[in-house]
Chains A and B, each alone.
Chain A
Amino acid sequence: GDKVKQSPSALSLQEGTNSALRCNFSIAATTVQWFLQNPRGSLINLFYLVPGTKENGRLKSTFNSKESYSTLHIRDAQLEDSGTYFCAAEAGDYQGGRALIFGTGTTVSVSP
């Protein structure tokens, strides 16, 4: 919740357009993961990031630990990109060991 803030909470995209999702951290995040929760409810791993940038097909993600944020860029959105995107951070001082602290998600809907 408050320790990891995701924005926007919902996003409607036309096929072929680009967009960006953002997470801001009020904790000392050391690593970040991005997931897509599909309509069946499964959490699909998209990215695992130490500070830096990774790219996979039409998706690109950056984690900036000094400025406490991470972004997920979707390029050329397709219908199969629809779902809820979660970011989650690991923090060195978290009492949950190496557990992840989740944001509340961004629901993305891609239409033709």
Chain B
Amino acid sequence: EAAVTQSPRNKVAVTGGKVTLSCNQTNNHNNMYWYRQDTGHGLRLIHYSYGAGSTEKGDIPDGYKASRPSQENFSLILELATPSQTSVYFCASGGTGGAPAEQFFGPGTRLTVL
């Protein structure tokens, strides 16, 4: 069973502050993803990565940066947090290249920006 962990699980931040959400996977998947979940929208893709050193923009990247320093770790960075970024953030991993593959999700991080 794939294992994806996220930290922190809950975070309260102030407007204008910097927030870093971390994700770790132990399955040697090349592909990792960050999504956010808001009521009425399902999950939407923010950034993704094909492997260490790579980051790509998803559908809603504005206000977010991503970092993939290693195969196992993928971070989502909010340089200047805003209340509109209050959401639940999910990290996922899946696949080792260009072929389709099942994705596995972490437990989510609930972020509140005041």
Enumerate chain A interface residues (CB-CB to B < 8 A): 1, 4, 30-31, 33, 35, 40-43, 45, 48, 50, 86, 88, 90, 96-105
Contact = CB atoms under 8 A, between A and B. Distances in A.
Contacts of A45: 102, 104-105
Given A48-B102, A96-B48, A100-B103, A41 B88 contact: yes
B42 A103 contact: yes
Contacts of A100: 33, 43, 45, 92, 103
Contacts of A104: 40-42
Interface residues of B, number: 29
A99 B108 contact: no
Interface in B14-66: 31, 33, 35, 40-45, 48, 50, 56, 58-59
A105 B45 contact: no
Contacts, number: 63
Contacts of B50: 97
B39 to A, nearest CB: 9
A1 to B, nearest CB: 6
B114 interface: no
B42 A43 contact: no
Contact of B100 (A31, A86, A102, A105): A31
A90 B56 contact: no
Interface of B: 31, 33, 35, 40-45, 48, 50, 56, 58-59, 88, 90, 92, 94-95, 98, 100-105, 107-108, 110
A41 to B, nearest CB: 5
Contacts of B108: 41-43
A41 B107 contact: yes
14 contacts: A40-B107, A41-B88, A42-B107, A45-B104, A45-B105, A88-B43, A90-B100, A96-B45, A96-B48, A98-B94, A98-B98, A99-B33, A99-B58, A102-B44
